[in-house]
Amino acid sequence: SGSEADERSDIYALGRIIIETLTGELPEEGITGVPQPVASVLARCVAHRKDDRYCCVADLRSELLPALAACDSAFQMTGAPS
């Protein structure tokens, strides 16, 4: 029998959607073309083992926002468009 769906299942689904939207590829193909801080957060969202994923959206948010901010700062420092 399969395991019960919980918030970590939703986080997995959200991670897949974000990865596919940003890269046009499935997570199984790797997370490329995404800045490393964001890729690390997304990799944890789609971890194979449910226990390795964020346990709640608040935890995901607490790591995703700083990762996005770091990317935004890097773009501003290199002169890339924001």
The rounded distance, in Å, linking the Cα atoms of 74 and 54 is: 25
CA-wise closest residue to 44 among 59, 25, 29: 59
Give residue-wise pLDDT tens across range 2-49.
678 899 999 999 999 999 999 999 999 989 989 999 999 999 999 999
Q: Would you state the pLDDT for residue 77?
A: 52
Q: Would you state the pLDDT for residue 4?
A: 83
The string of DSSP codes covering 20-63 is HHHHSS-GGG---SS-HHHHHHHHHHT-SSGGGS-SSHHHHHHH
